């Protein structure tokens, strides 16, 4: 039996629509029996943040980053058409109207399909994100962990 094909995605963007595209591709690849890893780095880590407000011990600068970044996938901004905050509400309405799966549900589906959700520990350190602020049942690692996953990937994407 041949080895499973691998799909690896670097999610750098903190934009709702781009994260949604990454998770649609990831879930689709998993449905085609690929081993899939999504490496969340920099603003892409916001897709893994829990919605609730937590108070882990942080420096002043880490607290400031925490306040400036959205908590949870559903609070991420759009890449275009913000319309003074109305854009995200409008696109979520269109998503619902067309019975499309919203980003938080795509993330849950990814977990159910055993997609590896990998949080970049170097970026977590830079932005002051703590493990307790991120979703449960994810993995942590740096560039070496991503390279180990990505070096024999059939598909490698940067979003």
12 in a domain, yes or no? yes
pLDDT in tens, 57-76: 888 888 888 888 888 899 99
Question: How many domains does one find in the chain?
Answer: 1
pLDDT over 70 (residue 2): no
Range(s) of the domain holding residue 130: 6-158
Is the CB of residue 7 less than 8 Å from the CB of residue 153?
yes
Quick check: is 18 in a domain? yes
Relative to beta strand 116-120, strand 139-141 is parallel
The verdict on residue 97 lying in a domain is: yes
> Would you say residue 35 lies in a domain?
yes
The pLDDT of residue 8 is 95
Q: Is 61 domain-assigned? A: yes
Residue 26 lies in a domain: yes
Q: Collapse the DSSP code of 40 into the 3-class scheme (helix H, G, I; strand E, B; otherwise coil) and give the result.
A: strand
Instruction: Kindly tell me the burial class for residue 148, based on how many C-beta atoms sit within 10 Å of its own C-beta (0-12, 13-18, 19 or more).
Output: exposed
The domain that contains 103 carries what CATH number? Answer: 3.40.1260.10
User: Mapping DSSP to helix (H, G, I), strand (E, B) and coil, where does residue 142 land?
Assistant: coil
For residue 121, what pLDDT band results from cuts at 50, 70 and 90?
very high
The reported pLDDT for the residue numbered 87 is 75
58 contacts: CB under 8 Å, gap ≥ 6? 66, 128, 130
Average pLDDT over residues 117-122: 97
Its pTM stands at 0.90
User: Is residue 1 over pLDDT 80?
Assistant: no
- Report the mean per-residue pLDDT for the chain: 90
Instruction: Tell me if 122 is assigned to some domain.
Output: yes
Q: Is residue 1 part of a domain?
A: no
- Choose between 156 and 11: higher pLDDT: 11
């Amino acid at each position: 039996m041949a080895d499973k094909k691998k799909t690896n995605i670097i999610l750098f963007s903190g934009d709702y629509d781009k994260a949604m595209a990454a998770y649609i591709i990831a879930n689709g690849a998993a449905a085609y029996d690929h081993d899939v890893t999504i490496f969340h780095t920099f603003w892409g880590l916001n897709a893994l943040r829990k919605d609730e407000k937590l108070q882990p011990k942080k420096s002043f600068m880490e607290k400031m980053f925490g306040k400036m970044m959205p908590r949870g996938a559903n609070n991420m901004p759009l890449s275009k058409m913000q319309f003074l905050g109305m854009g995200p509400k409008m696109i979520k309405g269109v998503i619902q109207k067309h019975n499309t799966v919203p980003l938080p549900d795509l993330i849950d589906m990814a977990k159910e399909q055993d997609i590896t959700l990998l949080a970049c520990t170097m970026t977590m350190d830079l932005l002051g994100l703590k493990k307790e602020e991120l979703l449960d049942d994810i993995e942590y690692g740096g560039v070496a962990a991503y390279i180990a996953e990505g070096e024999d990937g059939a598909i490698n994407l940067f979003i």
